[in-house]
């Protein structure tokens, strides 16, 4: 697979993942562009790996973490962007979905990344552990704590509908 074929096939999914990780459309686009520029330089090694998509996702998460460290040193304040969610959940209307995504965006970075990779990207614990650079037990801990924080916050927020936050078996 050439780099161009990879970007055409997986580029939109990488942008969606980045938007969920950083909660800012413009910063997500920049993040993906930076990661793909670095991946292009190493494409021979990346494509020879077992799973190039997992490698690029890992680069994306690492780049997000590096950006976060730099932003923390500069004391930047990020304003969450409101964006529509493509998937339609029957029990939630769009206002509830937007509010729920704002709650997810408020989670610590590792918890948000674990939840996004688990429930949005539908990856298993082993794949998430490789991407985040931690053990599978740590992944489960991040997911558990993230869901617990969301449940506590959703209970306080008073959503008119029941938000289906369920643990994955």
Domains along the chain?
Answer: 1-79 (1.10.1740), 89-169 (1.10.10.10)
What pLDDT sits at residue 121? 86
**Is residue 116 within 8 Å of residue 20, measured between CB atoms?**
yes
What pLDDT sits at residue 69? 58
Q: Which of 36, 34, 33 is nearest to 3 (CA)?
A: 36
What pLDDT sits at residue 88? 46
Taking 70 as the pLDDT cut, the residues of the chain under it are 67-93, 156-169
What pLDDT sits at residue 9? 92
In whole angstroms, what separates CA 11 from the centre of its chain?
Answer: 15
pTM of the entire predicted model:
0.56
What pLDDT sits at residue 99? 78
What pLDDT sits at residue 21? 86
What pLDDT sits at residue 86? 53
Provide CB contacts within 8 A for 74, sequence distance 6+: none
């Amino acid at each position: 697979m050439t780099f161009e074929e990879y970007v055409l096939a997986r580029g939109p999914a990488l942008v969606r993942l980045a938007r969920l990780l950083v909660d800012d459309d413009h910063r997500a686009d920049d993040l993906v562009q930076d990661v793909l520029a670095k991946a292009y330089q190493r494409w021979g090694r990346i494509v020879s790996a077992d799973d190039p998509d997992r490698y690029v996702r890992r680069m994306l998460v690492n780049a997000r973490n590096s950006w976060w460290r730099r932003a923390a040193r500069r004391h930047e304040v990020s304003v969450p962007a409101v964006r529509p969610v493509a998937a339609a959940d029957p029990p939630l209307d769009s206002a509830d979905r937007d509010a729920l995504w704002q709650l997810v965006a408020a989670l610590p970075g590792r918890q948000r990344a674990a939840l996004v990779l688990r429930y949005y990207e539908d990856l298993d614990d082993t794949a998430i552990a490789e991407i985040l650079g931690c053990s599978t037990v740590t992944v489960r801990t991040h997911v558990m704590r993230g869901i617990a924080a969301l449940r506590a916050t959703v209970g306080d927020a008073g959503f008119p509908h029941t938000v289906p936050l369920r643990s994955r078996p």
